[in-house]
Amino acid sequence: MKRCGILWCAVMLAVMSGGFAQASENGGGRYATYTISVDSTELPGGGHVEISHFYQVVFADNADDPLDGTHADCVGMTMFASNGAATSASGSCYIKDASGNGISMWWRMDEGGTPACPNSCGSWGYFDGYGTFKGISGSGTWKQTSLFANGSVGSWTGSYSLK
């Protein structure tokens, strides 16, 4: 059951970690998640749905990126087929920096269990922000590279702009 929680965490971390500067910039980096809780509900036909709560830490390739070292509080939902394969996943995260500025974002799984994406891969985008992140917009992709019993790690790429 924690597999889904980790999947959600990975997605949320990736979504929360777009590159920031003054105008518009491309960025990328890595993320790590830690699952706090997972609730599972069995579905007719043998599948199940998992709702997870997880934390994420974002690391940017560019040390000057305002998102480098930020943390996020995330929630997600993953649906699993009767064979245990994740069929869909999505959620949202709230990212916060050390100064108290924040960003809300969405994420979703677009692919998983394929040669190009053995674990899970997806897309993400920003809803909005406050403080120095007010007016942020942007989106990108994420790829989970390792899944653990209570977390995951992966990489992200994306772009953003501040209005």
C-alpha–C-alpha distance, residues 46 and 162, integer Å: 45
C-alpha–C-alpha distance, residues 18 and 23, integer Å: 13
DSSP code of 46?
S
Write the CATH number for 133: 2.40.350.10
**Confidence (pLDDT) at 10:** 42
**Count of H-run helices and E-run strands, the chain:** 1, 8
59-94 pLDDT, tens digit per residue, is 999 887 778 889 999 999 999 999 988 899 999 999
**Confidence (pLDDT) at 33:** 95
C-alpha–C-alpha distance, residues 48 and 130, integer Å: 36
C-alpha–C-alpha distance, residues 154 and 144, integer Å: 4
**Confidence (pLDDT) at 124:** 96
How distant, in Å, are the alpha carbons of 2, 8, 82, 84 from that of 46?
17, 21, 4, 9
**Confidence (pLDDT) at 63:** 83
**Confidence (pLDDT) at 25:** 57
Helix (H/G/I), strand (E/B), else coil: 37: strand
Which residue stretches of the chain have pLDDT < 50? 1-24
Number of domains in the chain: 1
How distant, in Å, are the alpha carbons of 39, 45, 106, 137, 162 from that of 143?
24, 29, 15, 21, 25
**Confidence (pLDDT) at 19:** 40
- The domain of 109 spans 2-161
Its pTM stands at 0.82
